[in-house]
Amino acid sequence: MSKSSINSSFASEAEFPLYVSLAEQFASIRSDSELLCDPLEIEDYGVQTIVDVSPPKWHLAHTSWFFETFLLVPYLNHYCEFHVDFKRLFNSYYEQVGAYHPRPERGFLSRPKVSEVYAYRKHVDAAMQTLLSQADHAQRDDIVRLTRIGLNHEQQHQELLLTDIKHILGRNPLRPVYKKLPQRQDKAPPLQWQAFAGGLTEIGHDGNGFGYDNEQPRHRVYLEPFNIASRLVTNREYAEFIEDGAYQRAELWLSEGWGAIKAGKFARPMYWERQQDGWGQMTLGGLRALDMEAPVCHVNYYEACAYAEWAGKRLPTESEWETAAASVVPTGNLRDSGYLQPMAAAQSGLQQMFGDVWEWTQTAYAAYPGFHAPEGALGEYNGKFMCGQYVLKGGSCVTPADHIRASYRNFFYPADQWQFSGIRLAENN
């Protein structure tokens, strides 16, 4: 990979922090991944419930593989790989790096043992600290940039860890509790509409701080005037949609979504359960009564579109969402709050743009004008997935607070429910 391709695609041109700061950040983020696994039992580490879910020990190993492959092997003299087969077992999808174990079979890997995966992390961490301490390294700029990519990559997997752990425990009939979580009983404010005049504006990463290649280049878009909802759609509102027979009404659904319903693929948000006294919901804190004031979560794109059709509205475009988000501070119910579950908006005005749930947009995930994937294997990070998926914005209750920004582009297939995904409405003005 050329230095120029790394510069243009994954990092700003701002001055780098001191190496000691990056080393401290590295240690902190790597520690966070292991802390997220502390509540697990050893039996939880190897479970893969669906193709989309990866076992927790795979996440821990893959994020170590990333640093080993893209930093330690090419940049640290005399580095000794921990295990010759790990380059294949824990490569996710990088064709240019070599063969990889099939994604649907990650749960087949009873070995390596969990203790060996933790030893692998310790081995990689020690080597990375050695590499980061070499401030006179001839390729130090590349090392800093690639380390930043690796740390942001690890934070993505921390979010996936919690998402996957929820599915693993949620499929267990014992309904295990990952962690005792705080609860709030706020009442959602009335939904209001925030008006935006439209016109010529810019979206995409602005060059300040870290940004992925798919957020770039920043470019101009023209928007017609639009209104966007002041808060997310709540569980109460979505329950009304269900009680109105929406899952039996073909006219509300995109053809693929209706076909999936007829095939029995889904009939409600994931983790909703009918109980004698109403709806229940599996959470990372165990099975609870559904909080009717909290945002609806774990709905797919088809459900989001159908709800918008039922409500006489639509989903926002990515450009509309990002323009609206630029008017608020990027704070909210993110992982750092400790709730690990969506919660009701606290007040009026434009709320919940960051945190709670990833918000479906009607925008297909595609390259921005002028986008070029970086050279080499890291060019596979985002670019090759720009087909058949939709953009989600804003982060969720399991997203690290220092990992989200208005320009961040998440993307999933329209049938995906297992992610912490929800709905914000928009309309033409």
The verdict on residue 175 lying in a domain is: no
What pLDDT does 316 receive? 98
> What confidence tens digit (pLDDT) does each residue in 361-409 have?
999 999 999 999 888 889 888 889 999 999 999 999 999 999 999 999 9
> What confidence tens digit (pLDDT) does each residue in 74-102 have?
999 999 999 999 999 999 999 999 999 99
Mean pLDDT of the residues in the chain: 93
What pLDDT does 20 receive? 53
Question: What CATH number has the domain bearing residue 11?
Answer: 1.20.120
Joined tokens for residue 369: 């004008």
Domain termination site, one of 135, 170, 205: 170
Domain termination site, one of 170, 185, 209: 170
In whole angstroms, what is the distance from residue 284 CA to residue 251 CA? 35
> What confidence tens digit (pLDDT) does each residue in 350-362 have?
999 999 999 999 9
Q: Is there a single domain that holds both residue 205 and residue 310? A: yes
Q: Is there a single domain that holds both residue 206 and residue 352? A: yes
Q: Is there a single domain that holds both residue 162 and residue 296? A: no
Count of domains observed in the chain = 2
Question: What CATH number has the domain bearing residue 245?
Answer: 3.90.1580.10
SS3 404: coil
Task: For residue 69, give the amino acid letter.
Answer: T
> What confidence tens digit (pLDDT) does each residue in 305-351 have?
999 999 999 999 999 999 999 989 999 999 999 999 999 998 889 99
Q: Is there a single domain that holds both residue 220 and residue 165? A: no
Q: Is there a single domain that holds both residue 397 and residue 276? A: yes
Q: Residue 363 CA to chain centroid, in angstroms? A: 17
In degrees, to the nearest 5, what angle opens at C-alpha 372 toward C-alphas 366 and 373? 85
Q: Domain of 374?
A: 193-428
The verdict on residue 185 lying in a domain is: no
Q: Is there a single domain that holds both residue 285 and residue 324? A: yes
**Contact at 8 Å (CB) between 215 and 204?**
yes
In whole angstroms, what is the distance from residue 68 CA to residue 85 CA? 13
Q: Is there a single domain that holds both residue 213 and residue 148? A: no
In whole angstroms, what is the distance from residue 405 CA to residue 330 CA? 6
Q: Is there a single domain that holds both residue 144 and residue 217? A: no
Q: Is there a single domain that holds both residue 256 and residue 113? A: no
Joined tokens for residue 157: 């997997």
Q: Is there a single domain that holds both residue 137 and residue 242? A: no
What pLDDT does 379 receive? 87
pLDDT tier, 275 (very low <50, low <70, confident <90, very high otherwise): very high
**Contact at 8 Å (CB) between 151 and 253?**
no
**Contact at 8 Å (CB) between 214 and 373?**
no
Quick one: average pLDDT of 153-182?
A: 97
233: left (phi over 0), alpha (psi -120 to 50) or beta: beta
In whole angstroms, what is the distance from residue 40 CA to residue 44 CA? 6
The verdict on residue 355 lying in a domain is: yes
Joined tokens for residue 192: 């209001």
The verdict on residue 351 lying in a domain is: yes
Identify any residues that bridge with 390 across adjacent strands, giving them in sequence order: 364, 412
The verdict on residue 219 lying in a domain is: yes
pLDDT tier, 108 (very low <50, low <70, confident <90, very high otherwise): very high
Torsion of CA 38, 44, 49, 52, to 10 degrees: 30
Confidence check: pLDDT of 146 > 50 = yes
Domain termination site, one of 138, 170, 202: 170
Q: Is there a single domain that holds both residue 285 and residue 368? A: yes
The verdict on residue 184 lying in a domain is: no
The verdict on residue 318 lying in a domain is: yes
Lowest mean pLDDT among 2-6, 57-61, 195-199, 228-232: 2-6
Q: Which residue has the higher pLDDT, 363 or 10?
A: 363
Q: Is there a single domain that holds both residue 154 and residue 202? A: no
For the chain, give me the number of helices (H) and strands (E)?
11, 12
